Structure 1
Amino acid sequence: MPRKSDLKSANAEKYVQEIEKQEELDIRLHGEVQKVSTIRRALPQVLASTAKNLILLDLGMTIAFPTFVIPALLNAKEGLSFTATQASWFGSISFICQPLGSILSGILLEPLGRKYSMLIVNIPHIIGWLMLYSASSIFTMYAAAVIMGLGVGFMEAPIITYVGEISEPTLRGILTSYAGLFVSLGFVVTFTLGSLAHWQQAALISCLVPIVTVVAISQVPETPFWLLSRGRIEEAEKALCWLRGWVEPRAIRKELAEMIRYSEASKLKNTRPTFEKAVYANTINLDDEKEEPKIKNFENNVAISGNSKHITVNEEINEEDPGYRDYSTNMDRSAHFVNVDLNNGHQSETEKSNSKNNNTVHLEKQLTDSENGWKIILKDVVRPEMMKPLSVVILFFFFLSFSGITAMRPYLVLILKALNIPIDPYKTTGILFGVGFSATVLCMLCVKRLGKRAIALPSFLGCGISLIGLMVYSYVGNGTSSPSWVPFGFLVILQFCNGFGVSPVPWMLVSEVFPFRGRSLASGIAAAFSYILSFVAAKTCLSLITAFTLPGTFLLYGTINIIGLITLYRYMPETEGRSLEEIEEGYKSSKK
């Protein structure tokens, strides 16, 4: 007897064959579908990602800013001056504010959309940079750090979700690692500005980045997934045409149809929104292994007429399912019916009227049943396909935060002085950030070929070895008065491994491992944990150095890297090259 998974695979092949038959008919009626080169298909996705990544450029500049401000103000004799305690707060206070922004982002992302959320996030950064430029007191600098921390937290969910929903599986790994490139570039830009201008002038110049970002993001489309979740099919079609190479609607017909099925299936409680479930509901018996599944007349599901192409998804809903009333929108109580004109993106006037009436009823129910809504949200979060990837991501963020670089970054100049490296500490910091930038570029080039596990795991090993090497040097060889290149070499290895795999990979995972239903909230939760852990790491770094000395702190961070290597080897799956649906299904079926 064949396994159920084998039957599903066979059914998918039959469905694809039927699609191909209809496409052949379409070619006879309307001619060849527009051919699109690989470069043209990838270019709009790269452009949209670049516009989004300008936010990350600002993020990198925000994170790096305390690194050269703290040494300038620590125990300064004129003007503003930090004590050691004040310096530790300025270097970490933005991290503790970021979780609030992340949670707020997760809540507002669905009603606002990805694009408008990315536009709004630039406002606190503009305000923060201007406050730093005009700062005349420590309180003002704290306030600026708090505002920018909220902005950084708010940005995470939309930028992570955006790239996952606009990109094809073959490009997603490259585009997510491409995002990390801009964070590293932000570090380099900040230190370049800091070496050429006073820190307040550098803050004013930095204010230009979020302004340019607003202009760039206004030119790119919203994600098709979000538009479909709002029933805006015509706009989703236009967005997908733009993102796949500015093509005609016929060229993206099959992909849009699959998105529609997945989007609609995701609205149903206790419905598994996989490709097979979404496509074969009520046309293929997926649960009966004894009976050969049958496909009904394909024209009932995909109908093509002379001047327009319609894809109709007709899916019966079990009225006994208690989740039906909570998740169905724009649906008849007895059946789920979507009729899409993929040439013009129009719905009939009758459907529009019914949709408005159903939307009104659904809205009234939401307003009168908010408690039940929160229960549904909680159930979404505790689903295995949500909790398993969320646990892996949070673990990864813990090891990232205590891998060394995140904790030491605000105090890197001070640590370099203690290590007695034969280069100016400010120049050394700039070199290290340049190394991190180069490592991120290499990650972007290698992730598709090697996969995320092959990048992340050796990177943790490299970080652990370099930190233990720094511990040995600090304990044994730092008693001499002559400068040494040995710690510089270990720091280069540490920065390279961090930029190559430890830092970019968890954000790649956040963009792709969560199910569509609940993705925004999960992304916000993951980002919130990231910043809480980053705050703890940055705030405690100076205290650890005081309590355990610098060699002891290096040993602690090195040990955490080795533990991270072992843990992620056991629990982190490979997601490179897999579709979002395949990743979700993998977590559902996983017993880990």
Structure 2
Amino acid sequence: MEKVNRSRMEMDTLLKTQDKNYEQMRSRDVQSQIKLYNTDWKEKEITGSNAFREKGNRSMQILAGIAASLSAAVLAANTVWNSPALPHLKSNHSNFFVTDSQGGWIISIYHFADIIGALLNIFFIDRIGRKLSLLLSGIPAVISWILIIYAENYLYIFIAKFISGIGQGVTYNALVIYLAEIAEKDIRGTLVSIMRTIQCLFYFGLAAVGTFFSYEILNLSALSVPVLFLIVFSFMPESPYFLLLQGRDEDAMKSLMKLRGMSDSKTLTVDLGEMKLDIEDKQKHKNNSLKDLILKSYNRKCLAIVMCLKLTQVMAGHSAILNNTQEIFSLSGSSISPKISVLILAGIRLISTFGASGIMDRISKRITFLVCGILAALFLTTVGLFFFLKFYVKADVSSITWLPLAALVLFEIVYYVGIAVIPYILQGELFSMNVKGTAVAFSMIIGSTFSFISNTGYNFISRNAGVFVAFWFYATVSFIGSVLTFWITPESNGKTLEEIHAMQNPEMKMKLELERKSRSVFS
């Protein structure tokens, strides 16, 4: 009895520091939870029920994650198209001709439009939901592929890429948040890794189509990807966090039960109660997300972490390499066809993502990112050294023309094991509900801006200073970025979203501790 009184006094002290409305709301929640726990405990003693131990299963979380990740496959279709399509459009076999300059802008405008999509997503991700936001992102993709299929000049392609770029900005924002919110703590990293696996699977398939089939078949195959996504994902559940945000507690419980594979809502009462802590914080700071993101020190730290992550991920040059793969291998003079080299790299990416799925929730994300970043810098330096010897020193490199392919294969492995995946995981984990939509959108804008600079910069640097300078620049960014990220990033493995937020936010930490202490008193 004395323990109960002491816990209640601590809770009262905290509640008095809150505004009147929040105090009344929290009081009602605590009282109803006390009543529920007393009732449940009595039922357990009388009936000996095992409902509290219901384990459920995670198959629905995996299925929903795969279905949602088909939106990333839509983006893969846009990216893989560049490598086989642009050489075709620059050749005599095309119905219309595209210059090198126009081809460069076709790539760059996609990443510029990505910024616009990320900005638009801020206004509706918390209004229409994560699921509907993802579904809407598939529509620009369908429109863009229809424009490409019926293109009569390069302006059709230009407009199509701009439209699909807007869709990408919406997609990544909603997808990262959706995957983080539907997954349990033990599989959250794995689920986000699946996103990359699905993306690379479709990239490999479409790269094969681009290698062995015509330009027209490639376009039709790419169109089928967003259509497949729109059909499959429409049957998946909404994020329980969003439903709580809308005050639809009953629907949130149903969604959570479906995702966890459980039939007894009592088993998930505790989980739903902790989720509400984040929602209460969001409602308390309603319409102040941008202000809180900038003014709160812990939010600024999270932004700094994300900036380092995105800087390393994007400015390591992967996107530029992806969009110019055939050209890079043509410059190397390798006996292996550039198209086959592209296919080899696509296969390596796919295999690497399986490795990432296996280790992401078992090994520290900080350490993984650091090791992968340093190794990526080493392999990029090697590629740069080859081109330096060939074009600057004018040395005979005929005996090592295999080196760029080998180094880029190793680069792809370490990139997709860590650098490609971890930033998306942490974007969905670090920010609390009241700033998450704005913060993730801001993160995507940073990434899109860096990507635009990286792709545009590759062509400029390669023409004016040499391709080896571009690779050495990417290597430098990869090394410095990974070390800096390791230094400032907290460890999040094995923690719930609420526990991660409590690491940064003292107020959230106190609320979570009192929530759990109040439960322990009556259990």
- Give the TM-score taking structure 1 as reference length: 0.76
1:532 maps to 449
1:175 maps to 191
Q: Are residues 1:32 and 2:64 paired?
A: no
Judge conservation of contact 1:381–1:518 (CA < 8 Å) in 2.
no
Deviates more, 1:558-567 or 1:442-451: 558-567
- State the secondary structure of the residue aligned to 2:187: helix
By how many angstroms is 1:179 displaced? 1.1
- Distance (whole Å) between structure 1 residues aligned to residue 53 and residue 91 of structure 2: 61
By how many angstroms is 1:473 displaced? 2.1
- Distance (whole Å) between structure 2 residues aligned to residue 50 and residue 34 of structure 1: 29
Q: Which one of the candidate residues 331, 338, 348 is aligned to 1:425?
A: 338
1:513 maps to 430
1:71 maps to 87
Amino acid at match of 2:359: C
2:469 maps to 552
By how many angstroms is 1:107 displaced? 1.4
Judge conservation of contact 2:289–2:435 (CA < 8 Å) in 1.
no
- Distance (whole Å) between structure 2 residues aligned to residue 208 and residue 237 of structure 1: 34
1:452 maps to 365
- Distance (whole Å) between structure 1 residues aligned to residue 403 and residue 231 of structure 2: 46
Question: Identity of aligned pairs, percent?
Answer: 22
1:393 maps to 306
Amino acid at match of 1:431: I
1:120 maps to 136
Equivalent positions of 1:65-214 (< 5 A) are 65-76=81-92, 78-214=94-230
- Distance (whole Å) between structure 1 residues aligned to residue 278 and residue 475 of structure 2: 43
Amino acid at match of 1:487: P
Q: Deviation digits for residues 107-128 of structure 1, max 9, x if unmatched?
A: 1101101111111111101111
Greater Cα radius of gyration, structure 1 or 2:
1
Q: Which one of the candidate residues 274, 284, 287 is aligned to 1:258?
A: 274
Amino acid at match of 2:260: R
Q: Deviation digits for residues 43-92 of structure 1, max 9, x if unmatched?
A: 11111111101111111111221111122222546522221111111122
- Distance (whole Å) between structure 1 residues aligned to residue 61 and residue 131 of structure 2: 14
- State the secondary structure of the residue aligned to 2:494: coil
- Distance (whole Å) between structure 2 residues aligned to residue 512 and residue 550 of structure 1: 37
1:52 maps to 68
CA RMSD of aligned residues (A): 2.6
Equivalent positions of 1:430-449 (< 5 A) are 430-449=343-362
Q: Deviation digits for residues 529-553 of structure 1, max 9, x if unmatched?
A: 1111111111121111112212222
1:587 maps to 504
- Distance (whole Å) between structure 2 residues aligned to residue 527 and residue 377 of structure 1: 15
Amino acid at match of 2:307: I
- State the secondary structure of the residue aligned to 1:449: coil
By how many angstroms is 1:18 displaced? 10
Judge conservation of contact 1:130–1:207 (CA < 8 Å) in 2.
yes
Judge conservation of contact 1:33–1:251 (CA < 8 Å) in 2.
no
- Give the TM-score taking structure 2 as reference length: 0.86
- Distance (whole Å) between structure 2 residues aligned to residue 78 and residue 509 of structure 1: 43
Judge conservation of contact 1:385–1:515 (CA < 8 Å) in 2.
no
Count of residue correspondences: 477
Change (3 A) 1:78 1:379: closer
Deviates more, 1:418-427 or 1:197-206: 197-206
Q: Which one of the candidate residues 465, 473, 480 is aligned to 2:386?
A: 473
Extract unaligned runs of 5+ from structure 2: 1-6, 12-30, 508-523
Judge conservation of contact 1:160–1:511 (CA < 8 Å) in 2.
yes
Judge conservation of contact 1:134–1:200 (CA < 8 Å) in 2.
no
Q: Deviation digits for residues 298-349 of structure 1, max 9, x if unmatched?
A: xxxxxxxxxxxxxxxxxxxxxxxxxxxxx5xxxxxxxxxxxxxxxxxxxxxx
Q: Deviation digits for residues 217-274 of structure 1, max 9, x if unmatched?
A: 22111111111111111111111111110422222122122223442243224xxxxx
Judge conservation of contact 1:412–1:429 (CA < 8 Å) in 2.
yes
Q: Are residues 1:228 and 2:244 paired?
A: yes
Deviates more, 1:18-27 or 1:399-408: 18-27
Judge conservation of contact 1:184–1:437 (CA < 8 Å) in 2.
yes
Q: Deviation digits for residues 360-406 of structure 1, max 9, x if unmatched?
A: xxxxxxxxxxxxx4x66423443223221122112211122221222
Change (3 A) 1:525 1:568: same
- Distance (whole Å) between structure 2 residues aligned to residue 61 and residue 70 of structure 1: 14
By how many angstroms is 1:481 displaced? 4.3
Change (3 A) 1:196 1:580: same
Amino acid at match of 2:42: L
Q: Deviation digits for residues 467-496 of structure 1, max 9, x if unmatched?
A: 111222222366344563222211111111
- Distance (whole Å) between structure 2 residues aligned to residue 232 and residue 209 of structure 1: 33
Judge conservation of contact 1:121–1:154 (CA < 8 Å) in 2.
yes
Amino acid at match of 1:539: T
